[in-house]
Amino acid sequence: MSTPLLEVHDLVKHYPPRGFFSAGSAPVQAVNGVSFAIAEAETLGLVGESGCGKSTVGRAILRLEEPTAGDVRFVGESILEADNAALHRLRRQMQVVFQDPYSSLNPRMSVGRAIAEGMEIHRLARAGEIPARVAALMVEVGLDPESAGRYPHEFSGGQRQRIGIARALAVQPRLLVCDEPVSALDVSVQAQVVNLLADLQRDRRLAYLFIAHDLAVVRQLAHRIAVMYFGRIVELGPARTVIAAPKHPYTQALVSAVPSRVLERHADRIVLSGDPPGPTTVLPGCAFASRCFHPRRDQRCHAERPTLRVIDGHQVACHHAEES
């Protein structure tokens, strides 16, 4: 990988217990020591089941949630140590596309005004230039610029997500955190939005952290895939090989759940037993051990937490990944 645009080191996010009956309870461990890097014009797909902490990672990187520990660096500059002025400048370089395109837009603000807001905040254009820039952005994402005066409720879900993308692009960022940007859309519209993101990456050399639970969608856009389970990355590697030859049992289960005609590979469906650990559970070993189907699973899996190590070009957190 070329020089990283974004570097995440041992990111941790724990939430303190809340509520009258939670006194003395353990904190919720949303993210536990996540590390990765993203280069310019690269897409890292971050996948995992609901509740694994992937969206929290994206929000912590942008400091929409304050991390508990760790470090995040953008072009070598620490985001977590940045003061308000530095953070204001850095946030122009890093933008987010949210999952729900309707709730992320102000219903009382026209879409043209919403797209222009970032330009005004960061003083990127004179007042007289802004309407033309808004129109150009709307054309770039496939919207009619004549509709700039309309409001979010007058657009379809796919159109609203295009508005969200245009709003993010308005400040000329280098990195987009895409938090499940197509999961709320129809399948046909999903493909259109993914193709739009691919075109924008090619034309603007954007980097993406693409957060999703659908491997079939991630496969279309990601150069590398990181698989999360219970707040940790359990496998990270090139997208094609992670899907074609997954090393971690949890990744194997995720891949097997995707119809073979979609991934162009056959895999017998793996049905996991049991439930993931509770969010306040502290485990000495592998969090996946109680659900693992690996034939060599042993007491070490329950007693010693595996660390990421390189096996056949993948980083895998499994004591027995060589025998996968």
Residue 261: pLDDT band (50, 70, 90) is: low
Other residues' Cβ atoms within 10 Å of the Cβ of residue 44: 23
User: Coil, helix or strand for 147?
Assistant: helix
pLDDT one-digit tens code per residue, 166-210: 999 999 999 999 999 998 888 889 999 999 999 999 999 999 999
pLDDT above 70 (res 21): no
Q: What is the pLDDT of residue 62?
A: 95
Report H helices in 76-183.
84-93, 111-121, 130-140, 157-169
Residue 1 has pLDDT above 80, yes or no: no
> What is residue 76's three-state secondary structure?
coil
Q: Which long-range contacts (CB under 8 A, 24 or more apart) does 107-113 make?
A: 107/151, 107/152, 107/153, 108/151, 109/151, 110/148, 110/149, 110/150, 110/151, 111/138, 111/147, 111/148, 111/150, 111/151, 111/152, 111/155, 111/163, 112/138, 112/148, 112/149
Inter-CA distances, 269 with 92, 249, 251, 296, Å: 43, 12, 12, 20
Q: What CATH number should be reported for the domain whose range is 4-323?
A: 3.40.50.300
Contact 78, 72 (CB under 8 A): yes
Buried-state track 257-274, b at ≥16 Cβ within 10 A, e below 16: bbeeeebeeebeeeebee
Q: Is the pLDDT of residue 266 over 60?
A: no
Would you tell me how many other CB atoms lie within 10 Å of the CB of residue 289? 22
d(CA 203, CA 272): 41
b/e map 63-95, b = 16+ CB within 10 Å? bebebbebebbbeeeebbebeeeeeeebbbbbb
Q: How far, in Å, CA of 98 to CA of 105, rounded?
A: 10
What tens digit of pLDDT does each residue of 22-64 get? 666 788 899 999 999 999 999 999 999 988 999 999 999 999 9
Tell me, rounded to whole angstroms, the distance of Cα 108 from its chain centroid.
28
Structure-block tokens of residue 68: 């508990």
Average pLDDT of the segment spanning 303-318: 95
Q: What tokens were used for 9? A: 């080191």
pLDDT value, residue 24:
64
Instruction: Report angle CA 168, 10, 322 to the nearest 5 degrees.
Output: 110
- Whether 212 and 55 have beta carbons less than 8 Å apart is answered as no
Supply the DSSP symbol for 315: E
Per residue in 69-82, pLDDT tens?
999 999 999 999 99
The pTM of the full predicted model, rounded to 2 decimals, is 0.93
Question: In angstroms, rounded to a whole number, what is the distance separating the alpha carbons of residues 88 and 298?
Answer: 50
Spell out where 187-252 has E strands: 207-212, 224-229, 232-238
Domain boundaries, the chain: 4-323
What's the whole-number average pLDDT of the chain? 92
Query: Per-residue DSSP letters for 241-295?
Result: HHHHS--SHHHHHHHHTS-HHHHTS--PPPPPPS-PPPTT---SS-TTGGG---T
Say yes or no to pLDDT of 280 above 60: yes
